[in-house]
Amino acid sequence: MKMTNRELKEIIDLWNFKPEVKRKLSEIIDRAGEGKPAHLFRYYCPDKKKDKVSKLERNFASRFGSRYALAVNSGTSSLITALVACGIGPGDEVIVPAYTFFASASAIVVARAVPVIAEIDETLTIDPLDIEKKITPRTRAILPVHMRGLPCNMGAIMKISRKHGLKVIEDVAQAAGGTYRGKMLGTFGDAGCFSFDAYKIIASGEGGMLITDNEKTYIRAQSWHDTAACWRPNRYERERMPGELFCGENYRMSQIQGAIALVQLRRLGSYLSALKKRKNLLSEEIKNRPGTLSLAPVNDTAGDCSTGLILLADNGAEAKKKILELKKKGVPAGGIYDQTVRDWHIYKFWEHIIQKKTPTDEGCPFTCPHYKGGLPEYSQDMCTATLEILGRVVNINVEENWTSADIRKIASLVAGRR
């Protein structure tokens, strides 16, 4: 059942959108001719000026310096689409960090490949040294994740990928706008995958983006994200290149998501600048007030999105004590690894992988006849370095409205002064 303009406007008024978001949504809803329903479908927009998804793709590609951008309905969809588009499938292994949201590993299984879980280092990103240790004849790709806005060591990762002929698919879900040595995160490997859900830097409720410089990867990604093939110049024409057409999914983004993400993309630079300014000030204040916590190393401080400040305690008990102390004083502090919390950002709680759970009894991809060799040995204690590091973390969420006084107060409390 199609909604009228009036009904759609009532929905918009119920949401606490900022004025600029409401204006973008109104552009979609207000069509020529009284009472005509809004066109919310990604394709066949009757007024090209109101095609917000296509505009978002163009603007995103331009902003990130990529040849192609494909909007999808979630960050997970972006990862699955990228894996399939890059030819990852049955019999393949993909290396993924032990600290990331479960979707990074789940996407590999959905693509019918096998995840190989690697340690992180104190930067909270995948450890290049452990990547090398985890490579086998079946390894086809590395999936680095820029956790908490922190850039991975892309220099080392790309060197490893070139040495072994591996694909690189970057998970940039938590680091939109971040860089490594001046280059945008998501543009190093074969594809970059972004999330626009409610808790991400660019937030449209749901949604995601895939970027790539490779035309074939882009065309295959379009096929997978839209099995109905509305993206094709002539929807029903024959295959134009080998590997273009195959059975896929429907991961399309709606015009509503596109309109909201457009506004978020526009303010990305100013938002990250505000966070970076405050994180840098807080870091300097903490350096000048020695205490029991130390600043965690960052692969590239200039490229950090600055959504949070990571501090390291000497041990887990000290970290817990400090977190409670800071919270009592009103500081937005938290830990990462607490054995009492089943956090799906930590591999230990990925029972789906550890126990090789699958939706059907045959156990694909873990029982796939195309998989030649022994499966990775999964267990809750297989990445002990990761657990030890995460247990020592004290995280302080950075807020864009902090004043200089707020920053000095937080630094003083971190140092243990009242």
| Whole-number pLDDT of residue 291 | 83
Strands (E), 360-417: 393-397
What topology is assigned to 49-267 in CATH? Answer: Aspartate Aminotransferase; domain 2 (3.40.640)
CA 16/CA 183 separation, integer angstroms: 35
Check whether 7 has a pLDDT greater than 60.
Answer: no
pLDDT band at 4 (very low <50, low <70, confident <90, very high): low
pTM of the full predicted structure?
Answer: 0.92
Check whether 136 has a pLDDT greater than 90.
Answer: yes
CA 78/CA 193 separation, integer angstroms: 5
| Whole-number pLDDT of residue 102 | 96
| Whole-number pLDDT of residue 172 | 98
| Whole-number pLDDT of residue 228 | 87
pLDDT band at 143 (very low <50, low <70, confident <90, very high): very high
CB 339 within 8 A of CB 320: no
Check whether 28 has a pLDDT greater than 90.
Answer: no
Beta bridge partners of 195: 208
Residue range 200-225: mean pLDDT, rounded? 95
**For the segment 324-339, what is each residue's pLDDT rounded down to a tens digit?**
999 999 998 999 998 7
Number of H helices, E strands in the chain: 14, 13
> Tokens at residue 229, please?
């093939």
Looking at every residue in the chain, the average pLDDT score rounds to 91
The domain segmentation of the chain, as residue ranges, is: 49-267
Phi, psi for 324 (deg, rounded to 5): -60, -40
Check whether 408 has a pLDDT greater than 50.
Answer: yes
Residue range 189-193: mean pLDDT, rounded? 98
Nearest Cα to 305, choosing from 210, 393, 180? 180
Residue range 395-409: mean pLDDT, rounded? 95
Residues annotated as catalytic are 200
Could you give the percent of the chain with pLDDT greater than 90? 78
| Whole-number pLDDT of residue 33 | 39
